[in-house]
Amino acid sequence: MDSLRDWGWSTHFEAAFAALDAAESEPARVVEAQRELFRVVTRAGERRARVAGRLRQEEHGPLPAVGDWVAVRVEADAVAIHQVLDRRSTISRKLPGKAAREQVLAANVDTVFVVTSFNEDFSPRRVERYLTMIWEAGARPVVLLNKADLTADPETMLAQAEAVALGVPVHAVCAERDAGLAALEPYLRPGATIVLLGSSGVGKSTIVNRLMGREVQTVQGIRDRDAKGRHTTHSRQLFRLPSGALTLDTPGLREVALWITETGLGQAFGDVEEIAEACRFHDCAHTSEPGCAVKAAVDEGRLARDRLESYHKLCRELEYLERKTDPAAASNEKRRWRSIQKNMRSARKKGWTRGES
């Protein structure tokens, strides 16, 4: 059992696993995910794994994501993931594109480091977006401003970050010179899982290498630094730090579109919601309603105008998402899928599709 404890196994998951109807199964944690390929750690060590056919049907629960605790069956030549244990936290975003589809970026995470840098990547609006996503996920956010060596005046950006990250710790670090990272120690207690999220090139893998004390991840070469949009990390992988914490490096995100959330928005914009309690109408949208305390706060300079705009924008995004995922629409989508699958099956029987099922 000890080897699983090293990967964050706890009495919580032990009980969850015991409650499963999972004869012949054993617990494991997903430590790497790259599209359909998974690596898991079992009591016997690390193995490649695949998703059992049954789990591919929606009614048998979510597909595994990195960080998940799962029930696996170890066969002679393969490990099959049969079930995903209930998650303690789920970091999700809406997949880029028009369809309302969820992508789970990480599961069972305690702390999320939102990494940005002291250069053009820094955007208070994007930080707000990440914080909304993370509060919704049930994890604790921490903002890291990396590449402190690139600025002579870190105070301005730090203050900008702090102004939008209410109640959230903000740390300036310089991964390249291994400076400031000692401040992260409190988050790295044994068994805790942390994930690094942020745009490509902000230095997530460099930070992971520093925390590991050796080079486990490839970082972007100096010659590629101007190549915008080129991603260096391609898979999501969990590492065991010398401190005993687990850390997940992820590929840079181009887009942070929200997945269904509302409590997350309220938490990320606690200042707006607090002022809104004084609005005349309790369902005030803070646009043109009479007696709107939020508009008044903006006019009096107590609330930044662009912060309110950002709040409105995220609200609209969520309303749109809710419309896109209303139950009727979702069940139509399922029906459509079933008929596609049926067609594929009969096509396969006729022998004109190759490949695996």
Ligand X SMILES: Nc1nc2c(ncn2[C@@H]2O[C@H](COP(=O)(O)OP(=O)(O)OP(=O)(O)O)[C@@H](O)[C@H]2O)c(=O)[nH]1
Q: Which residues bind Mg ion (CB under 5 A)?
A: 204-205, 232-233
Please state at what angle helix 154-164 crosses helix 124-137, rounded to 10 degrees. 40
- Answer with the entry of Zn ion, Mg ion, ligand X, none that 231 interacts with (C-beta below 5 to 8 A by kind): ligand X
CB nearer ligand X, residue 76 or residue 222: 222
CB 234, min distance to ligand X, A: 8
Which residue's C-beta sits nearest to ligand X? 252
CB nearer Mg ion, residue 235 or residue 243: 235
| Contacts with Zn ion, residue ranges (CB under 5 A) | 279, 284, 286, 292, 294
CB 169 within 8 A of CB 88: no
CB nearer ligand X, residue 4 or residue 145: 145
| Contacts with ligand X, residue ranges (CB under 6 A) | 146-147, 149-150, 174-176, 200-206, 219-220, 222, 225, 231-233, 251-252
CB 249, min distance to Mg ion, A: 6
CB 4, min distance to ligand X, A: 28
CB nearer ligand X, residue 81 or residue 142: 142
CB nearer Zn ion, residue 30 or residue 294: 294
CB 151, min distance to Zn ion, A: 37
CB 305, min distance to Zn ion, A: 14
CB nearer Zn ion, residue 28 or residue 292: 292
Gap between the Cα atoms of 208 and 188, Å rounded: 12
CB nearer ligand X, residue 25 or residue 200: 200
- Answer with the entry of ligand X, Zn ion, Mg ion, none that 134 interacts with (C-beta below 5 to 8 A by kind): none
CB 166, min distance to Zn ion, A: 19
CB 146, min distance to Mg ion, A: 12
- For the chain, the three-class secondary structure string (H helix, E strand, C coil) is CHHHHCCCCCHHHHHHHHCCCCCCCEEEEEEEEECCEEEEEECCEEEEEEECHHHHCHHHCCCCCCCCEEEEEECCCCEEEEEECCCCCEEEEECCCCCCCEEEEEECCCEEEEEEECCCCCCHHHHHHHHHHHHHHCCEEEEEEECHHHCCCHHHHHHHHHHHCCCCCEEECECCCCECHHHHHHHCCCCCEEEEECCCCCCHHHHHHHHHCCCCCCCCCHHHCCCCCCCCCCCEEEEECCCCCEEEECCCCCCCECCCCCHHHHHHCHHHHHHHCCCCCCCCCCCCCCCCHHHHHHHCCCCCHHHHHHHHHHHHHHHHHHHHCCHHHHHHHHHHHHHHHHHHHHHHHHCCCCCCC
- Answer with the entry of Zn ion, Mg ion, ligand X, none that 141 interacts with (C-beta below 5 to 8 A by kind): none
CB nearer Zn ion, residue 313 or residue 334: 313
- Answer with the entry of ligand X, Zn ion, Mg ion, none that 279 interacts with (C-beta below 5 to 8 A by kind): Zn ion
CB 254, min distance to ligand X, A: 10
